[in-house]
Amino acid sequence: MKDEELVDALQGFLVRRTGRPARVAALRQLAGGASCRVYSFDLAGCGDPRTLVLRLDAVGGTAGNAGGTVRREEFELLAAAARGGVTVPAVHWYGDESEGLGGAFFVMDLVAGEAIARRLLRDQRYERTRSALPRDLGRELARIHAVDLDDPRLGFIAGRAAGGDDRRRFALAEVGKYRQLLEGFSGEQPYPLLMLVGRWLEQHAPALARPALVHGDFRVGNVMFDEEGLTAVLDWELCHVGDPIEDLGWLCVRTWRFGSDDKPAGGLCSREELCSHYGAEGGSEVAPAALRFWELFGNWKWAIICRVQAARAGAGRYPDVELATIGRRVAETEWEMLELLEG
């Protein structure tokens, strides 16, 4: 679809949805992931003139996205997060494939700031931000984990939670999910350390008394920031019900330190400082053993994702240099896992 056609389709959707005149201008594609296209645009009408963002399914759709499921769920998660006080862009309208934009989509606010981690951790202009973010991240995690899972609008995610009486079921469900991916490619090339860590994780899965909404990809690189601190939490596509400590462990994965290895939590602070801010904002107590489990799990999960992304590039469907080079990171992540196991 050409940009002109997309503008016309979006403008028509907004008129139908709001019942008011609308004019869309200055459509510009932004950086986005493989699952969606992201555009900014200026909207006149439907209230005060403003710049908004369109998140639209990737060309050809998204796997497992029948009926626009992925975009619809992302829309509802952002709305629920906002109701819980999480710093997220406000969402306004959702539309499915029938609206003529070439896929399911939703419209949300444009948030000021940027998300490039290396700039955050190295540029002088973000020195103040680096000091503010540990507290900001602890606050946002505490609010995410306090989102009401009984909200009927989140029934889709609550309904996918691991069932049964085993209090370890949430950890075992996440390990099983990535163990299945690992077994899918280990026949082509053995990964004995990944298999070993997978067994260790199954044997040491922590029990959980109270499940929570887990962001699933909460890390430096997936939050927007400016010179003062955090401006938005992004990328909710891996959200699920589980152990809230999973999010803290993922933030501590070595890859997300971007070279600042002396500060385990996102290259910004110590694990202890992160947990202190999290607790001060209402988060649950973090047992060191549970945090170490989820940090090890996060590194294991990332190694498997790296291998899967490299396979996608090698298969030819996604001939992307970035996906191909991610495959080399398996070895460095294996080294980190060995150090965590020894600890």
CATH topology of domain 3-109: Phosphorylase Kinase; domain 1 (3.30.200)
Q: Decide if pLDDT at 329 tops 90.
A: no
Architecture (CATH level 2) of domain 117-342: Alpha-Beta Complex (3.90)
In the chain, where the domains are located? 3-109, 117-342
Q: In the prediction, which pLDDT does 63 show?
A: 47
Please tell me which residue, 331 or 91, carries the higher pLDDT value: 91
CA-CA distances (angstroms) from residue 51 to 27, 33, 116?
10, 21, 21
Q: In this predicted model, what pLDDT tens digit does every residue of 39-64 receive, in sequence order?
A: 999 999 877 899 999 999 987 554 44
Instruction: Using pLDDT thresholds of 50, 70 and 90, give the confidence band for residue 313.
Output: low
- Say if residues 257 and 173 touch (Cβ distance below 8 Å): no
Q: In the prediction, which pLDDT does 88 show?
A: 97
Q: What are the backbone angles phi and psi of residue 105, rounded to the nearest 5°?
A: -165, 170
Q: In this predicted model, what pLDDT tens digit does every residue of 131-143 receive, in sequence order?
A: 999 999 999 999 9
Q: In this predicted model, what pLDDT tens digit does every residue of 71-130 receive, in sequence order?
A: 999 999 999 999 999 999 999 999 999 999 999 999 999 999 999 999 999 999 999 999
Taking all residues of the chain, what is their mean pLDDT, rounded to a whole number? 91
CA-CA distances (angstroms) from residue 139 to 49, 135, 233?
32, 6, 11
The string of DSSP letters for 192-229 reads HHHHHHHHHHHHTPPP-SS-EEE-S--STTSEEE-SSS
With tokens 């090339």, the residue in question is 189
Q: Decide if pLDDT at 274 tops 70.
A: yes
Q: Decide if pLDDT at 256 tops 90.
A: yes
The residues pairing with 28 across neighbouring beta strands, listed in sequence order, are 40
Instruction: Using pLDDT thresholds of 50, 70 and 90, give the confidence band for residue 331.
Output: confident
